[in-house]
Amino acid sequence: MNESYVIGIDYGSDSVRSVLVDAINGEEISSSVFYYPRWKRGEYCDAASSQFRQHPLDYIEGLEATVKDCLQKSGIANIGQAVRAISVDTTGSTPIAVNEQGVPLALLDEFKDNPNAMFVLWKDHTAVKEAKEINDYNETSAVDYLKYVGGVYSSEWFWAKLLHIFRVDGQVRKATFSWVEHCDYIPFLLTGGTHASAIKRGVCSAGHKSLWAAAFGGLPPNAFFTDIDPLLDGVVDRLFSETYTADKPAGNLSTEWAERLGLSTSVIVGIGAFDCHMGAVGGQIEPYYLSKVMGTSTCDMLVAPKEEVQDTLVKGICGQVDGSIIPGMIGMEAGQSAFGDAYAWLKQVLLWPAKQALQDVEGLNDDVREQVVNGLEETLLVSLSKKAAELSVTATSELAIDWLNGRRTPDADQSLKGAITGLHLGTDAPRIFRAIVEATCFGAKAIVDRFVDQGIPVKGLIGLGGVAKKSPFIMQMMANVMNMPIRIHKSEQTCAIGAAMFAATAAGLYDRVEDAMKTMGQGFECTYVPEEKWVPIYAERYERYKALGAFIEGKESLAITV
């Protein structure tokens, strides 16, 4: 593999990051980040109604800018001729309506400013009603089409979002030929696809979000969807029947994109997948180790041999799909709808008075105000973590529920809300922060408990992503709450590195992605182990967390004093 480089592209919620990697040893040659300008300006979004949309131009412009920047930064002569492959991961479920040529409707003049013609970001929860209807109808169905997605369909997913868009926007509905996930659209774009029927769908997105299953012979039949709403009539026939694992090529880079990026048309473009799935590979996932990609939300990934899983189905998770993470193994996904977002919410609440006061101070110019605000934003969570770590905690200390953006796992319900209880006049910002951190860790424990209770052991934890790298306080609490060690991966960008590993495999540089993981993986930087004094305290408070959560859901009365 002389001079073999690959590019991994990771589309996150706020930005896209590309990395240029030496496929021989996994060395990161260069990286580049592009923040979506329209998203940053808050365009097409309405947080109050849980509407979060992203314009395809943010993605396309970011793709071109970051790849070209990586090549320029590399300093390697003729680097464009030495790149062998590109693979992409994205958030999900983040689908969009496309016309018959596979063009996103938002790229057409008549829909360029229509949010319903744009990518419906994973965190968009406008389809809560539609998800409930899917769940309700499935209970009457002769075939349980939800059994491979944990038995509960989420408003964050493919079909609920499609039905919602069709209901609220007749123009988009009439112009829609097909509905495609972000991770499947980008490879189609890069390979010069000209018809939506030629879009190669990854088994990752298809199995976890679209209800595709080999056991069903593909997607549920048209009647399943038309019985939910006749507006869905015929859609399934314009989608797909075949799926592909992410170690397979989607095709070669098109002439247009080769010229735009400064690469060769010999470059292989791999099948796309979700960020957390490729992130688990970049973080060197092992069987029965829960790989937690911790960012704005969490995605918790677990792989297990098919012969050991057999017919075990875990209820209330985000699906289990053959080959969705590592080809040849069962991939299981769970997660929390708000993790880093919960801390970011508190930060914005606390910063609001300071920002407002600065606006009212006479004599300050805009540059000074901006410097002060930026300084506060950079240091606030660090300061809160330091003070929160010094607090003593008892069974009756402030207690929170982490469902600020609904609950993803276990048992998806995006209509749920967060809560903080046990407040008193001595409650201050560090105590509230600690309660929220604790709640996110309790939410993580509920996921582990669900796997174990359903017959899938969890042998350990792997921490990936920004929160895992940047917050020792949160990671130590995670270890204490879970009462098990958590290893933190060295890589700053496991999702992009995972995409690079899949690119190398799709190009034939490795026979299996496991071989790419072994050679290209960066290893682990540290391990947090449980502190014995905290384990029993958190065990008691976890029981109180569960009781409070059940009360909020209306499942039982609150039998304990909180």
List per-block mean pLDDT (blocks of 10 residues) for the chain, which spans 562 residues.
86 96 96 97 94 98 98 95 97 97 98 98 96 97 96 95 98 98 98 98 98 96 97 97 98 98 98 96 96 92 96 94 96 94 95 88 82 90 96 94 94 92 96 98 98 96 92 97 97 94 98 97 96 96 96 72 46
Domain parsing of the chain, residue ranges: 5-283+491-523, 340-489+532-553
Contact 289, 175 (CB under 8 A): no
Contact 537, 392 (CB under 8 A): no
What is the model's pTM? 0.90
Reported CATH class of domain 5-283+491-523: alpha beta
The reported pLDDT for the residue numbered 558 is 55
The reported pLDDT for the residue numbered 46 is 95
The reported pLDDT for the residue numbered 559 is 52
The reported pLDDT for the residue numbered 372 is 87
Torsion of CA 413, 417, 421, 426, to 10 degrees: 140
- The fold of the 340-489+532-553 domain, in CATH, is Nucleotidyltransferase; domain 5 (3.30.420)
The reported pLDDT for the residue numbered 265 is 98
- Which letter, b or e, does each residue of 261-292 get, where b requires 16 or more Cβ atoms within 10 Å of its Cβ? bebeeebbbbbbbbbbbbbbbbbbbeebbbbb
The alpha-helical segments, DSSP class H, found in 210-339 are 222-228, 255-261, 275-282, 306-309
Exposed (0-12), middle (13-18) or buried (19+): which is 527, by Cβ within 10 Å? middle
Q: Helices 472-482 and 429-453: crossing angle, nearest 10°?
A: 40
Helix (H) or strand (E) segment spanning residue 8: strand 5-11
The reported pLDDT for the residue numbered 1 is 46
Helix (H, G, I), strand (E, B) or coil at 511: coil
The reported pLDDT for the residue numbered 412 is 87
